[in-house]
Structure 1
């Protein structure tokens, strides 16, 4: 069995990670003032946020062309891959997974498994890396999917945003009522609901300092409930100084956690807005 691993650009993997693990990355289009940019290909994160500040309209996103996806799958089949594991951003924030699931029967000479990560950003990236490493190690598709299902249950995240407008306009916030209005002095905390896997706003915090403290408290509660090592990231939307500072504080407070940094690229930044910041974590599989 020869397994190919495909994902989309919202995994925010580095070029080195992609190349070293033979991962195929499909860019997600972002649309800004009528111009379409393929994330990670036509526009970088800093370029996107610079354009966003002077944009005349709200940005939005689209799905990669289905024909190009099917062509990619066919090309991989022609290269000798008999199984393709295509891992993508949560179906609760994009219709991409369902679009692919409805079309992959057209692919000849390869079995395509479309996997809903139920998340996005570097957390999805970790699932992708796990799948790619297992594929290179000769594991079967069933073994890989089972491992991803298990790893997915260890994911946790909290987002601090400045503005809910884009999430609400795009229909990606499932419980917007009660969180709109008076937002100038509020820092909403968001997360992916464990049951519905939808983005939900669950607390209003009166200052950024208090929001950080509340997220740290929630993180401690999550750590207390685990019996495995954890890897965590601070993820920022074009606010690297704030991200670096928060990470330094957390490294001192939680020395047993393996810390790293990541970012919200154009597609996810479209919905969260500039200066959003998050604490995200997953079981650390490097010690397995």
Structure 2
């Protein structure tokens, strides 16, 4: 069976990773001040955050056009693919994976589409996609690949803090917004997607960004101490590379046993989190312990 791997642009894979692992990336559309863009295609991170800072209206995101998705899967079928593992951002914040589930039925006579809800987004999802591609290249069967992706997905964890809740609240992406709206501006809610529904939820309130980051570090330390596998962690920033790098340096010094890297929130996720957001995401390091 010839298997393709498909994901969306919020995986934030580099062009080199896409080519190396033969991953097909679907760009997510966004609109700022009436102008439409495709993430990863015609707007850079720097351009997006500059527009976000000066936009007169709240940016919006949408699903890729159904027609384009049909064309993609039909093209894959024409190239000889029998199946397409399709790993997309969590259904808790986007209906994209549900749309593809419907397409799977519509196109079942042409190609077997396997929608896979990542339960997350950003580079954690990117590594889930890379794992799928590696297993395809290794010749593993479809059931084994999906079982291993589920194992890896279960190791995903995240904790983050935003500098301004306005975007999350206005975009309707904060599931318990009523619990924190109206708080003093200096209060920084800690957020996570480690929830039963994998939606973004606030779970603690901390005064000041400094204390919020410290609490994130404490939670990270507590969680990784419970893990029975090596950890790969990503410090993720929304147009705050210096702050992200500084935090990564501290975490690396505190946890030399962990593999760290610096990631970013691109335009689509940045639309909802706003500039200045910081996060720690972590997972099993499959380079050190294969699934």
| TM-score for the superposition, normalised by structure 1 | 0.98
1:136-285 equivalences in 2 (<5 Å): 136-285=137-286
Deviation of 1:117 after TM superposition, in Å, equals 0.4
2:78 counterpart residue number: 78
1:103 counterpart residue number: 103
Query: SS of the counterpart of 1:285?
Result: coil
Deviation of 1:109 after TM superposition, in Å, equals 2.6
Deviation of 1:62 after TM superposition, in Å, equals 0.5
For the 8 Å contact 1:70–1:104, the answer to whether it is kept is no
For the 8 Å contact 2:165–2:273, the answer to whether it is kept is yes
Query: SS of the counterpart of 2:18?
Result: helix
Structure 1 unaligned residues grouped into runs of 5+: none
Q: How many residues align?
A: 288
Structure 1: 4+ residue segments shifted above 4 A? none
Query: SS of the counterpart of 1:286?
Result: coil
Q: Is the aligned partner of 1:12 residue 2:12?
A: yes
For the 8 Å contact 2:239–2:276, the answer to whether it is kept is yes
CA distance in 1, matches of 2:40, 2:50: 15
CA distance in 1, matches of 2:66, 2:142: 23
**Range 98-107 or range 276-285, more displaced:** 98-107
For the 8 Å contact 1:162–1:188, the answer to whether it is kept is no
CA distance in 2, matches of 1:170, 1:213: 27
Deviation of 1:178 after TM superposition, in Å, equals 2.2
Deviation of 1:212 after TM superposition, in Å, equals 1.1
Deviation of 1:106 after TM superposition, in Å, equals 2.2
For the 8 Å contact 1:22–1:132, the answer to whether it is kept is yes
Deviation of 1:103 after TM superposition, in Å, equals 1.9
CA distance in 2, matches of 1:125, 1:243: 19
CA distance in 1, matches of 2:70, 2:87: 15
Deviation of 1:140 after TM superposition, in Å, equals 1.2
1:54 counterpart residue number: 54
Deviation of 1:5 after TM superposition, in Å, equals 0.2
CA distance in 1, matches of 2:106, 2:175: 33
CA distance in 2, matches of 1:99, 1:164: 29
Query: SS of the counterpart of 1:184?
Result: coil
Deviation of 1:170 after TM superposition, in Å, equals 2.1
Query: SS of the counterpart of 1:194?
Result: coil
Q: Is the aligned partner of 1:122 residue 2:123?
A: yes
Structure 2 unaligned residues grouped into runs of 5+: none
Provide the alpha-carbon RMSD of the alignment: 0.9
CA distance in 1, matches of 2:221, 2:41: 38
